[in-house]
Amino acid sequence: MEQVLIYFSENREAIFIILLSIFLGIEVISNVPSVLHTPLMSGANAISGVIIIGGIILLGHADLSEFSLELVLGIMAVLFGTLNVAGGFVVTDRMLNMFKKNKKG
């Protein structure tokens, strides 16, 4: 019991963030019309590209003077993350554009 409490107090910020984000995620999605499921999935997908920050930190502190695994993986991580972010937002935008155009016409 004590260990559980210690663990909780040591990690309480993380636990708060996780739980609140979960509720937030549920709350935001629960009333979505099915028309928007695919664009929404794609938009959420683009946001998960936030991992790019991890890639930037990794590559940002990599030693550039020599060829290393860190350098290669860092470049790949940033590249993958960018593809996820840029591609994701553009794809979502394209899907949504189609709805918009037709609403006018």
Partner 1 sequence: MFGNTIQYGKTILDFSYLVAAILFVVGLKLLSKPESAKRGNLWAAAGMLLAIVTTLILHRDNSGNNIPLTNTIVIIAVISVGTVVGSVIARRVKMTAMPQMVSFYNATGGGASALVALMEFSNLKNTSPLVTLLGLIIGSIAFSGSMIAYGKLNGKIKDWKSPAMKYVNLLMLALIVGITAFMLVAESPIVAPEILLYSLFALSLVYGVFFVMPIGGADMPVVISLLNSFTGIAAAMAGFIYDNQAMILGGIFVGAAGTILTLLMCKAMNRSLLSVIIGAFGGGGAAAGEKEMGTIKEISLSDASVLLNYSKKVVIIPGYGLAAAQAQHVCSELDKLLTERGVEVKYAIHPVAGRMPGHMNVLLAEADVPYEKLVEMDEINPDMPNTDVAIIIGANDVVNPAAIDDPSSPIYGMPIINAREAKNIIVMKRGMGKGYAAIENSLFYHDKTRMLFGDAKDTLQKLLSEIKNL
Q: Binding string, 35-64, against partner 1, x = CB under 8 A?
A: xxxxxxxxxxxxxxxxxxxxxxxxxxxx-x
Say which residue the tokens 């189609």 belong to.
Answer: 98
Task: Using DSSP, state whether 66 is helix, strand or coil.
Answer: coil
Residue 1 or 35: the one with the smaller Cβ distance to partner 1 is 35
Tell me the site size for partner 1, rule CB under 8 A: 79
Residue 5 or 103: the one with the smaller Cβ distance to partner 1 is 103
What angle (nearest 5°) sits at the alpha carbon of residue 85, between those of residues 19 and 34?
Answer: 65
Site for partner 1 in 1-40 (CB under 8 A): 14, 17-18, 21-26, 28-40
Site for partner 1 in 80-99 (CB under 8 A): 80-99
Nearest to 80 by CA among 50, 57, 60: 50
